[in-house]
Structure 1
Amino acid sequence: MIDSTIPLHDSTPSAIRAERRRIVESVQAHRRLLAKRRAFEASDRQRLNREARERDRAEARHGKALQRIHEKQVKGERSLTGKLNGLDGKRDSQERRALAVLRRESIDQSLRSTHLTASQVNGIGSGLVRDLAAQGVRTAADFRRVSWGKAPNGKGGEVLYIHRTQGRKVHINGIGEHRGRPLMEWRQSALARAESRAPDELPADQRHRIAEIIENERVRLQAELDEAPKLAATARAEAVGVHTEALERLAVAEGEAAEEAARRRAEFDAMAERLLGLQAELSAHVDRFGDLGLRDRRSRSRAFRPLPAAPAVPAPRAPEADSRSEARPASATSGAAAAAPDATALDGVRASLGWLVPMVFFGMTTVLGTGDDATDPLWFRITARLAALAMLADLLRLWVPRRRWRTAGSLPAGTGLLASGVFLGLLSASMFVDPEHSAGGAPWAVAVVSALLLLGGAARRAGTRTPGPTAD
């Protein structure tokens, strides 16, 4: 026990009171400082949960990156495999296109070499041949077909037009239906001869050139297909490196924060030890000098209050599916076990904004009643308003403090049952006083349900310890 600091020769009442006041003020100052420990532990618990969430997010980002790399690899390999499988069809298609070009060139060359003469078309003499040549029609390749249309000057009815291969259609005076039909027959026969003389297969050199192009494409695609797993492995290694660096940064930050939290916690522990020493000193002072009056007894009653229990050391929320995380220390495990009763002390529901709905209803019922009119009894209107007011006051008393971030917590168990029971009780009472519903059994059923809810809510409220708002 610590003895008083007052010397034996200085025992005047003023010195004794001054020393007593100094010790009590020191105790109060230490209590005020220790009162900050609950907020510190709540903040430290939030820090640990935040660190666990950051680790979870890092693991999720790493998993998504690996999934994207795998999907890209599978998609690329599927595309390359499809292109490789389609090379044979691509070669056949290129050969068909090359043969079609070769035949078209052969047919065009044959038609350009077939010149129009008077001896080849019945009814067309040398004069009409010269007129056709003057309009650009000299060979079978210079026109495509003939058709009827209005005369160029709009007079004389319809005339025969010759559609040139390149350019506009022309009309030659003297060439009508009797001369146009032999002209088209001559062109069709020239086209048939040209098609019959056109090659039916590609030359060997062109086939070899196409096969060489396809083979080069096959080698390139196969090389890309063989390289795809290597590229995916490189990308995965880079993703693992980025993930490892992120985890190292988080570990460094967590270590620094943990050291700071341990230092603050040690300060609080030392402060609690000093507070116990001051209380022992105050007790020794009282034993030596006795009671100093009413004010002294009041201050001593506050100073000798039991120390608040030191909050358990918070344990971080374990990240999900983190096989690379190290085992938790034994102190953290014991802290989690000690903190479990605080987290479940209130077996109720969270004080969310949804509770505003019943509070608004009970407030409106307090002011407006239950929809009663002048025919309702006066006792019913007063009783309904008082019941709604009592329930509103109880909800506000429990809900408002638990909305603060420092004192957030769950509402006491049974609060919802009591609110529902009062609501149904008001409903059943209004049905009893209403002549339209009082004769049936509905009011009695609602009243029974209301009574059961009230009894259940009261039993749960009474069976659960209802401490003040927690600092969680």
Structure 2
Amino acid sequence: MTSSTPKLRDGITPAPQSPAEIRAERRRIIESIRALRRFLDKRRAFELADRRRLNREARDRSRAEAAHAEELSHIKEKQAQQERSLTQDLDSLDGKREQQETRALAVLRREFIERRLRNTPLTVSELNGFGTGLIRDLAAQGISTAADFTRVTWDRAPNGKGGNVLYIHRTDGHRVHINGIGQHRSGPLMEWRQAALTRAEARAPRTLPPDERHRISEIIKAERARLRKELSKASLTAEDARTQATQRHTETLELLATTEHEAARLAAERRAEFDAMAEQLLALQSELSAHVDRHGDAGRRIRRAQRRALRPIPALPAIPSPRAPVGLAKKSDSTPAPAVRASLAWLLPIFYFGFTTVVGVGELGSNTASPGLMITSRLLALATTAELLRLWIPRRRRQTQDPMPSGTGWQATGMFLALAAAGMFADEKSDVFGAACVVSVLAALLLLAGTGLRIRPPDPVQPSRQGRTS
């Protein structure tokens, strides 16, 4: 803000000619200082919002890194699982080859035996006790070769009368009963079939033909080539997936960086505005001091506003950030100390003074305190509890975390000793008057020391700028 008072060529402002003009000029300077102070009061809220922004950006970056790491881990796990499965399939190919050869040989032997059994017909000359009529009856029931039946069993007759009869089980699963074939003829029938089966098994091939073995080898070879191709393809697929994941991660980080750069630029501009306002405020304070030195007191009504205007700029508490701002942030000469929350140990004195608010002092057991002590002790304990809670709760929050003010512990200890001394004075049965006096004196000293530390003025934030007013 610039003064409307005319200046000479050498830049020296002419002195006002009347007390009214002096007061008007001083009020103008004071109002300008008030306006600047109102704007500067918003700086703390701005710094808190900017710190929340930095916390949010750091959280978004950590989430992006965690998501990228998780995706890479998933790709690696999937690749390892696929490669492990393919390797197991490759290792099992030799056993698979033997199994296929064994199955092919079993099929070849079974087909040979079935073919030999079908070529062994039922004849009268081969079966003792079987005539032409029984052979014809068996053929009528579909049993004409050794391959047409498997076994014989005894069961109830088809009409349920006459007891058990002999059943011949055909190869297709049905069973038939032939009149005239009973226990005496079933033995020769099964012995004939078993002999035919034994001859067929003895003549069946015991090794695979070369062409069948070659065919199985070609199948295993093709399967091995396919598995090796899939194994090499699994590595390429995983590498492509990692490349795409890295590309997406890079794009996410670039987007975050762009947003952070823009937010940091706006924050730097806003912070520069506050710095410029602070410079203007210091200049106006220097002008006001010079005006007071040149013209003296301007009246009782303006004196109090003048003192308030000349107050030093309030110290802005250090608000640490989780990381340095991106891009446009200025490098400081010293690294700010990390924020420290108020300790949870302060809950002990808070609970004690809260308990004292309820029970008072000097009232336990058979002691009876005076009404004045009962009321006073409860009020002091209540006030101490409220003050500690007022100081401790905001300093536990993440946005406003800070250690307890200097001297608070001394004051709490002094109040504890004061209440203890009051209880000792109220105790009529014990001779502790001397000790109560010592404790009360110590409590007074601690309260005075703590109060002195609490009211000690804070160090200025910008001593170099404030020094310009001198």
TM-score, normalized by length of structure 2? 0.73
Residues 1:343 and 2:336 aligned together: no
Shift of 1:190: 1.8
Where in structure 2 are the equivalents of 1:281-430 lying within 5 Å? 281-309=287-315, 316-317=322-323, 331-332=330-331, 334=333, 337=335, 339-340=336-337, 343-344=339-340, 348-349=342-343, 366-367=357-358, 376-379=366-369, 389=382, 392-402=385-395, 407-411=400-404
Q: Which residue does 1:5 correspond to in 2?
A: 5
**C-alpha distance in structure 1 between counterparts of 2:390 and 2:351, whole Å:** 14
Three-state SS of the structure 1 residue aligned to 2:150 is: strand
1:188-227 to 2 correspondences below 5 Å? 188-227=194-233
SS in structure 1 at match of 2:331: helix
Distance 1:229 1:404, change over 3 A: closer
Q: How do residues 94-133 of structure 1 correspond to structure 2 at under 5 angstroms?
A: 94-133=100-139
* CA spacing shift, 1:202–1:32, aligned 2, 3 Å: same
| SS class of match (1:148) | strand
Taking only the aligned residue pairs, the percentage that are identical comes to 56
Separation in 1, partners of 2:319, 2:378: 47
Q: Tell me the equivalent position of 2:282.
A: 276
Q: Who is 1:174 aligned against?
A: 180
Query: In the superposition, relative to structure 1, how do residues 147 and 363 fare at CA in structure 2: closer, same or farther (>3 Å)?
Result: farther
- Alignment check: 8 A CA contact 1:314 1:332 kept: no
Distance 1:205 1:300, change over 3 A: same
Question: 2-side partners of 1:392 and 1:206: how far apart?
Answer: 96
Residue number in structure 2 paired with 1:31: 37
Give, in whole Å, the separation in 1 of the partners of 2:450 and 2:293. Answer: 42
Asked if the contact 1:4–1:284 (Cα under 8 Å) also holds between the matched residues in 2, the reply is no
3-state SS, counterpart of residue 159 of structure 2: coil
Q: Given that residues 111 and 141 in structure 1 are in contact (C-alpha distance below 8 angstroms), is that contact kept between their aligned partners in structure 2?
A: yes
**1:162 to 1:15, Cα distance in 2 relative to 1, 3 A:** farther
1:59-74 equivalence runs, <5 A = 59-74=65-80
Q: Where does residue 323 of structure 1 map in the other structure? A: none
Contact 1:160 1:175 in 2 (8 A): yes
Q: TM-score, structure 1 length as denominator?
A: 0.72
In structure 2, the gaps of 5 or more residues are 7-12, 428-438, 458-470
What's the secondary structure of 2:158's corresponding residue? coil
> Structure 1 residues 391 and 37 mapped into 2: Cα distance closer, same or farther (>3 Å)?
closer
Matched, 1:251 2:245: no
Larger Rg: 1 or 2? Answer: 2
Q: Distance in 2 between matches of 1:195 and 1:464?
A: 114
8 A Cα contact 1:350 1:409, kept in partner: no
1:91 Cα deviation after fit: 1.5
**Aligned counterpart in structure 1 of residue 165 of structure 2, from 145, 159, 162:** 159
SS in 2 for 1:343: coil
SS in 2 for 1:191: helix
Q: Residue type of the partner of 1:29?
A: A
Find the aligned partners of 2:166 and 2:392 in 1 and give their Cα distance: 99
Asked whether 1:183 is paired with 2:179, we answer no
2:463 alignment partner in structure 1: none
Match of 2:461 in 1: none
Q: Secondary structure at the match of 1:155?
A: coil
1:333-364 deviation digits (Å, cap 9, x = unpaired): 536x1x21x735x7x3269xx96x99689757
Q: Read off the aligned partner of 1:133 and give its amino acid letter.
A: A
**Separation in 2 of the partners of 1:227 and 1:234?**
10
Within 2, Cα distance between the matches of 1:412 and 1:150?
A: 106
Q: CA shift at 1:263, angstroms?
A: 0.5
1:92 counterpart residue number = 98
After superposition, the C-alpha distances for 1:405-426 in whole angstroms (9 at most, x for unaligned) are 75443446887xx79x98xx99
Aligned equivalents of 2:80, 2:47: Cα separation in 1:
49
Q: Any conservation in 1 of the 2:154–2:165 contact (CA below 8 Å)? A: yes
Instruction: Confirm or deny: 8 A CA contact 2:51 2:321 kept in the other structure.
Output: yes
Task: Give how far 1:274 is off.
Answer: 1.4
What amino acid does structure 2 have at the position aligned with 1:241?
Q
Q: State the distance in 1 between where 2:258 and 2:119 align.
A: 88
Q: Which moved more, 1:97-106 or 1:157-166?
A: 157-166
RMSD: 4.6
Kindly indicate whether the alpha-carbon contact (under 8 Å) linking 2:339 and 2:401 is maintained by their aligned counterparts in 1. no
- Deviation (angstroms), 1:99: 0.8
The answer to whether the 8 Å contact 1:108/1:141 transfers is yes
Write the distance in 1 (CA, Å) between the matches of 2:451 and 2:91.
75
Bigger drift between 24-33 and 293-302 goes to 293-302
Contact 1:148 1:161 in 2 (8 A): yes
The SS at the match of 2:333 is helix
Aligned length: 421
CA distance in 2 between counterparts of 1:412 and 1:278 reads 32
Q: Quick check: 1:48–1:317 contact (8 Å CA) kept in 2?
A: yes
Return closer, same or farther for 1:405/1:72 CA change in 2, 3 Å cut-off.
Answer: closer
User: Deviations along 1:37-96, whole A, 9 cap, x unmatched?
Assistant: 122222223323333333333333333344344444444433333333322222111111
* In structure 1, distance between residues paired with 2:360 and 2:316: 49
Aligned pair partner of 1:139 in 124, 145, 149: 145
- What is the distance in 2 between the residues matched to 1:138 and 1:463? 122
What's the CA shift for 1:97?
0.8
> Letter of the aligned partner of 2:343 in structure 1?
V
Is the alpha carbon distance of 1:214 and 1:368 closer, same or farther for their aligned partners in structure 2, counting shifts above 3 Å? same
CA distance in structure 2 between the aligned counterparts of 1:131 and 1:366, rounded to whole angstroms: 116
Question: Does the 8 A contact of 2:105 with 2:208 survive in 1?
Answer: yes
In structure 2, C-alpha distance between the alignment counterparts of 1:283 and 1:206, rounded to whole Å: 113
1:238 is aligned to 2:259: no
- 1:55 aligned to which of 40, 54, 61: 61
Whether 2:122 is the aligned partner of 1:82: answer no
Judging changes above 3 Å, is the alpha-carbon distance between structure 1 residues 105 and 365 closer, same or farther for their aligned structure 2 residues?
A: farther
Give the partner amino acid of 1:349. Answer: S
CA separation of 1:272 and 1:145: change in aligned 2, threshold 3 A: same
